[in-house]
């Protein structure tokens, strides 16, 4: 029932859309691979990457980004599994209240808490440390993560917990040996999502770790590095941008199904 003309036209549109979506990243990639002015290299070269890596200190900032993102993911996942279990399976008495409180955080923009966070970390001397970026991001990831896990656990049959109870397992053992292992797949999807958000976070990093190169994350380093256009060639900036994007892009292509379902399901909640 589908006509050949419609099939060709439809796919043509998709190809154009895909081209537009790819073009900026591919053009930056090509720019990064082409020799900078004054370079003796011919054709494609990796020397811009080497220049960016050494001049921009990206080994340090990529490590910082990974450390912050992994800390946020692990802390959020543990807290969300515990909270999701007690809210859905154990049916915590005041769960409606807890869900309502978490609902606030789902839509709260960073702008609404950035000033007090800055004051808090500067008065405790934690400004320009990893803590200043980890703690607020655990807090902002928790609502989504908790809804996610509560929702997942509530879809599992009640008989699981009952069977465990008959075998003499306590509530925590039931979580540890039954619900937590079953929830691993949901935790993985969730972790991809939180990792992505944390890796890409910019405003919090800009405000909460502005002066300490040793802890700055990759997007912030890139922003400062790219701001010095007078001293840095565009080819080297492009290479730096590719370095910052690459870990997430690789993870995305390897785990695309998880990312996709995560981003789309995350939106529904």
Partner 1 sequence: MSASPLARTDAENRQPERAAGTAGRFVWRHTLYLVPGLVIYALFCLWPLAETVRFSFQRWDGITEPRWVGWRNYLAIFTDPQTLTVFGHGLIMIIFYAVLPLLIGLLIVAIMTRIRIRLLAVFRTVLFLPQILATVVVAVAWRWIYAYDGPINALLTAVGLGHLSRAWLGDFDTALNSVGLIGTWINFGLCMVLFIGGAQKIGRELYEAARLDGAGPFQEFMAVTLPGLRGEISIALVLTVTNALRNFDIVWNTTSGGPGTSTLVPSYLIYEGAFITRNVGFAAAASVVLTLLILVLTGVITRALRQRD
The footprint of partner 1 on residues 7-26 (CB under 8 A) is 7, 9-11, 13-14, 17-18, 20-22, 24-25
- Residue 148, CA distances (Å) to 127, 137, 151, 187, 266 in order: 31, 17, 5, 9, 8
Comparison of 43 and 111: residue with beta carbon closer to partner 1: 111
Distance CA 131, CA 117 (A): 11
Nearest residue to 225 (alpha-carbon basis) of 208, 243, 207:
243
Interface with partner 1 (CB under 8 A), residue total 108
Q: Please, what is the minimum distance in Å from the beta carbon of residue 147 to partner 1?
A: 5
Q: Please, what is the minimum distance in Å from the beta carbon of residue 181 to partner 1?
A: 17
Tokens of 165: 């109870």
**Binding residues among 48-107 for partner 1 as defined by CB under 8 A:** 75, 78-80, 82-83, 85-88, 90-96, 98-105, 107
Tokens of 13: 């549109």
Tally of CA atoms within 13 A in the half-sphere of 45 that contains its CB: 15
Name the H helices within 156-255: 159-166, 171-174, 180-182, 184-200, 203-208, 218-227, 234-254
**Binding residues among 159-218 for partner 1 as defined by CB under 8 A:** 161-162, 165, 171, 196, 199-200, 202-203, 206-207, 218
Q: Please, what is the minimum distance in Å from the beta carbon of residue 46 to partner 1?
A: 19
Q: Which stretch binds partner 1 (CB under 8 A): 2-10, 39-47, 48-56, 177-185?
A: 2-10
Comparison of 117 and 187: residue with beta carbon closer to partner 1: 117
Nearest residue to 244 (alpha-carbon basis) of 217, 266, 269, 263:
217
Q: Please, what is the minimum distance in Å from the beta carbon of residue 168 to partner 1?
A: 13
Q: Please, what is the minimum distance in Å from the beta carbon of residue 119 to partner 1?
A: 8
């Amino acid at each position: 029932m589908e006509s050949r003309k419609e099939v060709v036209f439809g796919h043509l549109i998709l190809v154009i859309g895909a081209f537009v979506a790819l073009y900026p990243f591919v053009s930056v990639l090509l720019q990064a691979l082409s020799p900078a002015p004054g370079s003796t290299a011919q054709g494609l070269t990796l020397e811009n990457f080497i220049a960016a890596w050494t001049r921009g200190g990206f080994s340090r900032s990529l490590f910082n980004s990974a450390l912050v993102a992994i800390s946020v993911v692990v802390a959020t996942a543990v807290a969300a599994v515990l909270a999701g279990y007690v809210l859905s399976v154990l049916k915590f008495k005041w769960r409606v209240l807890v869900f309502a409180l978490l609902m606030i955080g789902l839509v709260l923009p960073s702008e609404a808490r950035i000033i007090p966070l800055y004051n808090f970390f500067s008065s405790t001397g934690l400004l320009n440390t990893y803590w200043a970026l980890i703690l607020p991001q655990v807090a902002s990831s928790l609502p989504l993560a908790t809804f996610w896990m509560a929702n997942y656990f509530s879809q599992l049959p009640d008989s699981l917990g009952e069977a465990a109870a008959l075998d003499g397992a306590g509530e925590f053992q039931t979580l540890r040996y039954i619900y937590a292992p079953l929830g691993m797949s949901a935790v993985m999807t969730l972790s991809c999502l939180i990792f992505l958000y944390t890796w890409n976070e910019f405003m919090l990093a800009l405000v909460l770790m502005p002066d300490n190169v040793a802890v700055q994350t990759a997007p912030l380093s890139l922003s400062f590095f790219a701001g010095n256009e007078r001293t840095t060639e565009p080819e080297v900036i492009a290479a730096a941008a590719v370095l910052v994007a690459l870990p997430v892009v690789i993870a995305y292509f390897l785990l695309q199904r998880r990312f996709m379902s995560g981003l789309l399901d995350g939106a529904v909640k």
